[in-house]
Amino acid sequence: MWPMKSRPTVPVLRLCGPIGTAAPMQSALTSTLLAGPIEKAFTISRCPAVAIAINSPGGSPVQSNLILKRIRQMAEEKKKKVYVFCEDVAASGGYFIAIAGDEIYADVSSIIGSIGVIAAGFGFDKAIKKLGIERRVYTAGLNKSILDPFKPECPSDVEHIKKIQEDIHDTFIGIVKDRRAGKLKGIDSELFSGAFWTAPRALEFGLIDGISDIRSKMREVYGDKVRLKHIPVCSSGLLSRLYRRSDSVIEESCALMGGSLSDKFLSTFETRLMWSRFGL
**Per-position pLDDT tens, the chain of length 280:** 455 457 889 999 999 999 986 444 446 899 999 999 999 999 998 889 999 999 999 999 999 999 999 999 999 999 999 999 999 999 999 999 999 999 999 999 999 999 998 887 788 888 988 999 988 888 888 888 888 888 888 898 889 999 999 999 999 999 999 999 999 998 999 999 999 999 999 999 999 999 999 999 999 999 999 999 999 986 444 434 444 444 444 344 434 444 454 455 555 656 666 666 666 5
pLDDT at position 180, please? Answer: 97
pLDDT at position 249, please? Answer: 43
Q: Which strand (E) or helix (H) includes residue 256?
A: helix 237-256
pLDDT at position 226, please? Answer: 94
pLDDT at position 202, please? Answer: 97
pLDDT at position 7, please? Answer: 82
pLDDT at position 271, please? Answer: 66
DSSP 186: S
Model's pTM, two decimal places? 0.82
Do residues 17 and 87 touch, judged by C-beta distance below 8 A?
no
| Neighbour count for residue 233 (Cβ, 10 Å) | 19
pLDDT at position 232, please? Answer: 92
Give how far Cα 19 sits from Cα of 30, 66, 127, 134, 254, Å.
Answer: 6, 11, 32, 36, 22
pLDDT at position 237, please? Answer: 40
